[in-house]
Amino acid sequence: MKIPKWKHNLITGYQNFRAKPYKRHKDLYEEVGKYGQHPDVMVIACSDSRVNPSAIFNAHPGEIFVLRNVANIVPPYDPSAGYHGTSSAIEFAVKALNVDAIVVMGHESCGGVTAYLNGVGAEDKKQECEHSFLDSWIQILDTAHEKLLETDAENAGCQRQMEYAGVRQSLVNLMGFPFVEKAVIAGNLSLLGTYFSIIEGRLLFANKDGIFEEVPTHRSKVADK
Ligand SMILES: [Zn+2]
């Protein structure tokens, strides 16, 4: 029986992984598998298939703790009962892994942000009378959008400005988690907003004012002497 293309690609990809990256880092896999992970950084990125933090940071197994969801959103702190997948991952990273930093990574042409700006799903929901998890989730971007309307109303409908605003709001929401705030104030945890431009493969870091600036692409340009 012919196997479907997706399954064929998964198996081929796995075999390539075994032949190259796994073979190269076999000892490392064995070490982190036996003795556990000690990542310094947690990255909260979008589920988008084009934005892979481990690839962008050229990270080895055990180096970064990654959480991906639609539109790289950190929801507001909400201690009520519920299925808080994102919040529980943040708690684990801070309390159990003691990461040094949490990095939120937004990206170009984010489908979640497009859906928010276009109100995608609203009509379908009316017709189907069915709960949309996606609609509820991306509505968390309301606060980011309101802030953008206050500070830069002209660009409030602009995809990129909204993507930046979403990252900034995720950082604000992170500080709403008591254990995050405590670790940041104690100097044990840093927060950083970042943005990945897919077309050019370029990364930007947010400065202290929330403005996104390009990270040097070449090692010699980094002032790390
Ligand atoms: Zn996205």
pTM for the structure as a whole: 0.93
Same domain assignment for residues 24 and 101? no
Same domain assignment for residues 21 and 127? no
The 3-state DSSP composition of the chain as helix, strand, coil percent (nearest 5) reads 50, 15, 35
Same domain assignment for residues 74 and 3? no
Short-list 136, 132, 142, 134, CA closest to 162 = 142
What is the per-residue burial (b if ≥16 Cβ within 10 Å, else e) of 50-71?
A: ebebeebbebebbbbbbbbbbb
Same domain assignment for residues 110 and 11? no
Range(s) of the domain holding residue 16 = 1-35
Same domain assignment for residues 42 and 60? yes
Between the CA of 88 and the centroid of ligand 1 the distance, in Å, is: 21
- For the chain, the domain total comes to 2
Same domain assignment for residues 71 and 156? yes
The pLDDT of residue 9 is above 50: yes
CATH, residue 98: 3.40.1050.10
Same domain assignment for residues 3 and 57? no
Are the C-beta atoms of residues 105 and 79 closer than 8 Å to each other? no
3-state secondary structure of 42: strand
- pLDDT at position 64, please? 98
Between the CA of 69 and the centroid of ligand 1 the distance, in Å, is: 8
The pLDDT of residue 59 is above 50: yes
Same domain assignment for residues 15 and 53? no
Between the CA of 12 and the centroid of ligand 1 the distance, in Å, is: 27
Same domain assignment for residues 16 and 95? no
The pLDDT of residue 123 is above 80: no
Same domain assignment for residues 167 and 64? yes
User: What φ, ψ does residue 27 adopt, rounded to 5°?
Assistant: -65, -40
- Each residue of 66-81: pLDDT tens digit? 999 999 999 999 999 9
- Each residue of 126-156: pLDDT tens digit? 566 688 999 999 999 999 999 999 998 888 8
The pLDDT of residue 6 is above 60: yes
Between the CA of 111 and the centroid of ligand 1 the distance, in Å, is: 5
**Mean pLDDT value across residues 44-54:** 98
Between the CA of 22 and the centroid of ligand 1 the distance, in Å, is: 28
Q: Within the chain, where are the H helices?
A: 5-17, 23-24, 26-35, 53-56, 85-91, 111-118, 122-128, 133-138, 142-152, 159-174, 178-185
Same domain assignment for residues 27 and 77? no
Between the CA of 84 and the centroid of ligand 1 the distance, in Å, is: 19
Residue in the structure block whose two tokens are 């950083």: 192
Same domain assignment for residues 132 and 162? yes
Between the CA of 59 and the centroid of ligand 1 the distance, in Å, is: 20
